[in-house]
Amino acid sequence: MARIAVVGCGHVGLVAAGAFASLGHDVLAIDIDADRVRMVREGRSPIYEPGLEELLQRALEAGRLTVHEGFPASLDSEFVFLAVGTPASTGGASDLRAVRDAVSSLVPALHPDAVIVNKSTVPIGTGNIIAQIAKRAGADSVSVVSNPEFLQEGTAVHNFLEPDRIVLGSDDPGATARVAALYERVDAPILETDLRTAEMIKYASNAFLATKVSFINEMASICEAVGADISVVAEGMGQDARIGSQFLRAGIGWGGSCFPKDVAALEHTASTFGAHPQLLRAVIEINREQRRRILQKARAVLGTLESRRIVVLGAAFKPNTDDIRESPALEVADLLRLGGASVVVHDPHVPTSVIQREFPSLEVERDLLAAAAGADAIVLATEWPEFRDAPWSEMAAAMRTPLLLDGRNFLDGQQLRDAGFTYRGIGRPAQEGPAADATTDEAELAQGLVMVGRE
């Protein structure tokens, strides 16, 4: 069993620390945030992630996890995993300050045989920069391995321990083999590659998933125009094994701590190196447009947003996390506010203070019925399972205009209509029946088809 240090006690670092401890390794978790360190030491997870707190508690009780604020004077760890944040900076470039700072701080303490393993998502070439920084700081022969992380918030522990694949990239095969051995008890294929290819695999994977979502959203807009139902279209597409059903749900688009910054960073890197990432630009633009579509739908029914009270259900960027970074829900809420509406946000798990720290102009209401009272519309923006069983009839009765805009195509439209709502989804017919929303005159369409047939 190995001695591992994990730098950064965020989503990735804590899951990695707890999971490596559960695999039998001795783990030292390091962070510069004193509050986080204190909480983890007490066996409390600073983030909402199913199963994580229990994992950390078990690791602490087994004596396999210790937590340190800042960098110790000497590290006896054979592996140092970097899991610090790499947020976007202006222009889309990745802000690598935390990575640089962490490497500069840890190198003086580094064990002579230690391998630096990077789990942070970084622009292609950063692994080589890490090696240079380490070298300048005196660690001449340190090896760097890129081990990108593919976990999803909400299922992170499971994703870490049962991944689809483990990617290890390095220019030192010996270091790769040593890192691979850490995952001996994880049943997953290991793809060994060079540093840059591993870094690119992470970006390409996130960009592809974001593209899939933007693709289905574009199809949803076409469905609305022609009177088809995107939910059924996606089902039909997803049954094709070459396509797959995941990430094919139309809605208000992607967000979160990874996709927006990673797609922007890849676009930025590509442009810097003289490539022309046209598809990535379209993927980003379609995503922006999806947020605006909710405003169009609200205006289509309410006429104006001025002086309307609109409830946004959800603040987290997706269910089963309390992460609000780049949350589509809060972006929609803020756009509605800028459009003149007074906006009330309700989320079953994100604390009010977290929402109001980022969006002080948004009202937050923890009681669903109180939020709905006198409202002109509800926008379902995060598909928390709790919302399926909301007291819809009572909420509709309490509203001034019972309009429900389902930004995630999550609810049963008929059930909502029965509860008294005017229901609108994304890319779905407004009423039952596939062609009810179509604007095309059928005779015109038929004539067009005949004309095409004659050409």
Start-to-end CA span in the chain (Å) = 73
Q: Figure out which of the listed residues 26, 53, 153, 331 binds ligand NAD, where binding follows CB under 6 A.
A: 153
Q: Please tell me whether residue 127 binds ligand NAD under the rule CB under 6 A.
A: no
Return the number of the residue (55 or 83) whose C-beta is nearest ligand NAD: 83
Question: Is the separation of the CB atoms in 1 and 24 below 8 Å?
Answer: yes
Q: CB of 207: closest distance to ligand NAD in angstroms?
A: 13
Number of other CB atoms surrounding residue 109 within 10 Å: 17
Site stretch for ligand NAD (CB under 6 A), options 3-11, 267-275, 398-406, 416-424: 3-11
Site stretch for ligand NAD (CB under 6 A), options 11-19, 162-170, 182-190, 362-370: 11-19
Q: Figure out which of the listed residues 6, 10, 293, 311 binds ligand NAD, where binding follows CB under 6 A.
A: 10
Q: CB of 395: closest distance to ligand NAD in angstroms?
A: 32
Q: Which residues pair with 67 in a beta bridge?
A: 29
Q: Figure out which of the listed residues 4, 5, 8, 359 binds ligand NAD, where binding follows CB under 6 A.
A: 8
Return the number of the residue (77 or 409) whose C-beta is nearest ligand NAD: 77
Tokens 């995630």 found at: 408
Provide the phi-psi class of 42: left if phi over 0, else alpha when psi is between -120 and 50, else beta: alpha
Q: Please tell me whether residue 149 binds ligand NAD under the rule CB under 6 A.
A: yes
Return the number of the residue (209 or 258) whose C-beta is nearest ligand NAD: 258
Of 426, 359, 383, 446, the C-alpha closest to 217 is: 426
Q: Give the C-alpha separation, 368 to 373, whole Å.
A: 9
Q: For residue 223, what are its two tokens?
A: 């469905």
249-278 residues near ligand NAD, rule: CB under 6 A: 257-258
Q: Please tell me whether residue 11 binds ligand NAD under the rule CB under 6 A.
A: yes
Return the number of the residue (69 or 172) whose C-beta is nearest ligand NAD: 69
Q: Figure out which of the listed residues 98, 144, 294, 329 binds ligand NAD, where binding follows CB under 6 A.
A: 98
Instruction: Tell me what percent of the chain is helix, strand and coil, each rounded to the nearest 5.
Output: 45, 15, 40
Question: What is the size of the binding site for ligand NAD (CB under 6 A)?
Answer: 27
Of 159, 171, 168, 174, the C-alpha closest to 191 is: 168
Give the nearest residue (CB) to ligand NAD: 10
31's CB contacts (< 8 A; 6+ apart) are 7, 8, 9, 13, 37, 40, 67, 69
Site stretch for ligand NAD (CB under 6 A), options 4-12, 237-245, 298-306, 425-433: 4-12
Q: Give the C-alpha separation, 129 to 108, whole Å.
A: 17
28-47 residues near ligand NAD, rule: CB under 6 A: 30-33, 36
Rounded to the nearest 10 degrees, what angle do helices 11-22 and 52-61 cross at?
50
Phi then psi dihedrals of residue 122, to 5 deg: -135, 155
Q: Please tell me whether residue 13 binds ligand NAD under the rule CB under 6 A.
A: yes
DSSP 63: T
Return the number of the residue (13 or 427) whose C-beta is nearest ligand NAD: 13
Q: Please tell me whether residue 169 binds ligand NAD under the rule CB under 6 A.
A: no
Number of other CB atoms surrounding residue 70 within 10 Å: 11
Q: Identify the three-state secondary structure at position 239.
A: coil
DSSP labels, 388-454: GGS-HHHHHHHSSS-EEEETTS-S-HHHHHHTT-EEE-SSS-SSSSTTTT--S-HHHHHHHHHHHHH
Q: Please tell me whether residue 118 binds ligand NAD under the rule CB under 6 A.
A: no
Catalytic, 9? Answer no
Q: Figure out which of the listed residues 56, 59, 80, 84 binds ligand NAD, where binding follows CB under 6 A.
A: 84
Return the number of the residue (383 or 437) whose C-beta is nearest ligand NAD: 383
Catalytic: which of 6, 133, 166, 258?
Answer: 258
Q: CB of 268: closest distance to ligand NAD in angstroms?
A: 15
Site stretch for ligand NAD (CB under 6 A), options 24-32, 58-66, 215-223, 364-372: 24-32
Phi then psi dihedrals of residue 343, to 5 deg: -115, 135
Q: Please tell me whether residue 110 binds ligand NAD under the rule CB under 6 A.
A: no
> What are the residues binding ligand NAD (CB under 6 A)?
7-13, 30-33, 36, 83-86, 98, 101-102, 119-121, 149, 151, 153, 257-258
**Residues catalogued as catalytic:** 258
